[in-house]
Amino acid sequence: MHDLDGLFKDLGPWVLGVLVRRGADFASGEDAVQEALLEASRSWVAHRPDDPFAWLVTTAWRKHLDAMRSQSARRRREVADHQEPVAGPVTGADETLLLLFLACHPALTPASAVALTLRAVGGLTTRQVATAYLVPESTMAQRISRAKRTLAQERLTEPGDLGVVLRVLYLIYNEGHTGEVDLAQEAIRLTRQLAASTSEPEVGGLLALMLLHHARRPARWASDGALVSLTDQDRARWDTTLIAEGVEIIQSALAQDRLGQYQAQAAIAALHADAPTADQTDWTQILEWYDELLRLHPTPVVELNRAVAVGEADGPLAGLAAVARVAETVPRHAAVRAHLHERAGDLVRAQALYAVAARAAGSVAERDHLTRQAARLHARPPQA
């Protein structure tokens, strides 16, 4: 049965995409797919069809039509416009792309789009999505139901907003690994599917960015669970296969000469991955890429990260001057200032800022890391 579960997870989103493309609304389409999967789980144990995907499409579509015919006269008139589809091959690639655009519809909040993408496109159960986001299953079920109701009247008649799709996928990736579901891996899997459906360079940029970040994951945590900063990571633990793939993808994307924010971020990540040691990092080129990124995506967070690069390329005082132009309410502002003050030799000020940053940390791991930095400076003897 376990192999069927995996097959259903892969095929379910494709089948839903076919139904949506044929005119089903999101909610009724998913209901029909779930009924088809339930029927398959009963009948396939004895005999699996030669073409499971086609079987599921046919069964789900018929269940959808049956449900529509049982509703109001208005709904029956709409169904009359839908003839039984002519049998033929369906690949699922275009349907997956359509489903991604629909699940990431601009009418949805980011939280709803993330939940619906994981449920409908990723094939995760509501319980798995709820566990990953540390909320009760009932809460996540309500969130997904509201999202489906919002989309009930939507029809994707023209290309959707790719930027919204990429933003949702990156939000999923940044959640990392919580519960039984590795959301970073799910985000990479979904982005690979999207990359297989389009040649847009920003899709390649996002995929490369995820792979390059993911390559550093084994070195990001110490054996005791403590967070390890990029500077202190054991680069021998980085995944060179993922790095090579990410570099190849970003080079191909950049060659199209249509630069976007994810390509710029991936280029920065590639430069970090290319450095044999932290001291050999090409900060001058990284700073140039941050200048490009700030032009493409002018946000306070990008400006703060650029200030770090300024501090590495031009010295800590220049970095502090750059940080001063960023609002202090931006996350990690105090942590960046602490790092730059330490590099400038002002350890008293750096220790105080590390303590401030620890109190404002967004996670327990980050708080503990910053607390250790403050304690480390407190233990150092005063300099002459």
Tens of pLDDT, residue by residue over 62-72, are 888 887 777 65
Query: So where are the chain's domains?
Result: 1-87
Q: What mean pLDDT is predicted for residues 31-38? A: 86
Q: What are the pLDDT digits (tens) for 195-211?
A: 988 889 999 999 999 99
Other CB atoms within 10 A of residue 2 CB:
6
In the prediction, which pLDDT does 60 show?
A: 85
Integer distance in angstroms from the first to the last C-alpha of the chain?
70
Q: What mean pLDDT is predicted for residues 131-159? A: 78
In the prediction, which pLDDT does 24 show?
A: 78
In the prediction, which pLDDT does 153 show?
A: 66
In the prediction, which pLDDT does 84 show?
A: 43
Confidence of residue 262 (pLDDT cuts 50, 70, 90): very high
Question: Is the pLDDT confidence value at 321 over 50?
Answer: yes
Q: What mean pLDDT is predicted for residues 266-291? A: 97
For residue 329, the one-letter residue type is T
Q: What mean pLDDT is predicted for residues 134-149? A: 88
Q: Which of 76-80, 94-98, 304-308 is modeled with the greatest confidence? A: 304-308
Lowest mean pLDDT among 107-121, 173-187, 253-267: 173-187
Tokens 């519960």 belong to 179
- Strand intervals (E) in the chain: 177-178, 181-182
* Alpha helices for the chain (secondary structure H): 2-21, 26-43, 52-69, 73-80, 93-103, 110-116, 126-132, 137-151, 162-174, 183-197, 201-215, 240-254, 261-274, 283-296, 300-314, 316-323, 333-344, 347-359, 364-379
Q: Sign of the C-alpha dihedral, residues 129, 135, 141, 147?
A: negative
The two structure tokens encoding residue 376: 């480390």
Confidence of residue 79 (pLDDT cuts 50, 70, 90): very low
In the prediction, which pLDDT does 383 show?
A: 55
Average pLDDT, the chain: 85
For residue 220, the one-letter residue type is R
In the prediction, which pLDDT does 180 show?
A: 61
Question: Is the pLDDT confidence value at 156 over 60?
Answer: no
The two structure tokens encoding residue 255: 């060659």
pTM score, whole prediction: 0.79
